[in-house]
Amino acid sequence: MLSLDLSFYNWELFTNYILKGFLFSIQLTVIATIGGILFGTLLALMRLSGKSILVYPATFYINTMRSIPLVMVILWFFLLMPMLIGRPIGADLSATITFIAFEAAFFSEIVRAGIQSVPRGQVFAAEALGMTYGQNMRFVVLPQAFRNMIPIFMTQTIVLFQDTSLVYAIGAYDLLKGFEIAGKNYGRPIETYILAAFTYFVICFSLSRVAKRIQQKVAIIR
C-alpha cells in the first residue's frame, strides 16, 4: 500500500538541492523572456515591413520554430553545436540560447498582433506629421502595442517557466532536476515529484493572478 511521508522536507533539503535549480529556472525564464521579446520584436517588424527580403526569412523562421517541439530544438542545439564549433558549450548556455531562439518565434506573433491592434489612424497621423517609419514605430505604435501586450507577455512567460523543466533532457540543473536529485538522495522520489508539481502550481497560479490583474488595469486604461 502506497504511503506518503513529507516529513523529510526541510530547509536543508531546500538549500542543498532545490534552491540551485529554482534560481536557474528563474534566471532562464527572465533571460529567455527579455531576449525572446527583443528578437521577437525584430522578427515582427521584419514580417510587417512589406519587403520580401525581410518578410520571407522571418516567416520561415517563425513557422519552423513554432512547428517543432521545444525538447527537440534543445537536443539538436546541444548535440550539433559542439560539432560545428569544435568544443562543448555547456548545458546552461545551450538552454539559454535555445530558449531565446525558440521563444522569439512566439513572442514575435504576440508583438505583430499588438502592433496591428493600434488604430491605423494614429499611424497615418504620425506620417502626416513627417515621421519616418522608424520614428512612427518607436514613438507612436510600439509604446501603445507593448502596453496592450503586457498581459499576453506574462501568460507566455508562465508557459516559458513551465517549459524550463524540459532542460532535463540535456542535464541542466533546473528546478525539476533539483527535486529529482533530492528524491534520489532521500529515497522518496514520489513525494519529491509531488512537491515539485505543487511548487510549479503555486508559482504559475500566482503569476496568472498577477497577469489577470494587469489585464484588468490595461482594459481600464483603454
Grid cell digits, residue 190: 514520489
Assess if residue 4 is contained within a domain: no
Of 214, 212, 180, whose CA–CA distance to 195 is shortest? 180
Grid cell digits, residue 139: 514613438
pTM (2 decimals)? 0.87
What are the tens digits of pLDDT across the range 93-147?
999 999 999 999 999 999 998 888 888 777 788 778 788 777 888 888 888 888 8
- Whether 173 and 21 have beta carbons less than 8 Å apart is answered as yes
CATH number for the domain harbouring residue 89: 1.10.3720.10
Number of domains in the chain: 1
Q: Can you give the residue range of the structural domain that contains 67?
A: 11-221
207/184 Cα distance (integer angstroms): 30
- Under the banding of pLDDT at 50, 70 and 90, the label for residue 6 is low
What are the tens digits of pLDDT across the range 146-190?
888 888 899 999 999 999 999 988 989 999 999 899 888 877 788
19/174 Cα distance (integer angstroms): 9
What are the tens digits of pLDDT across the range 13-43?
788 888 999 999 999 999 999 999 999 999 9
204/200 Cα distance (integer angstroms): 6
User: What's the start-to-end Cα distance of the chain, in Å?
Assistant: 57
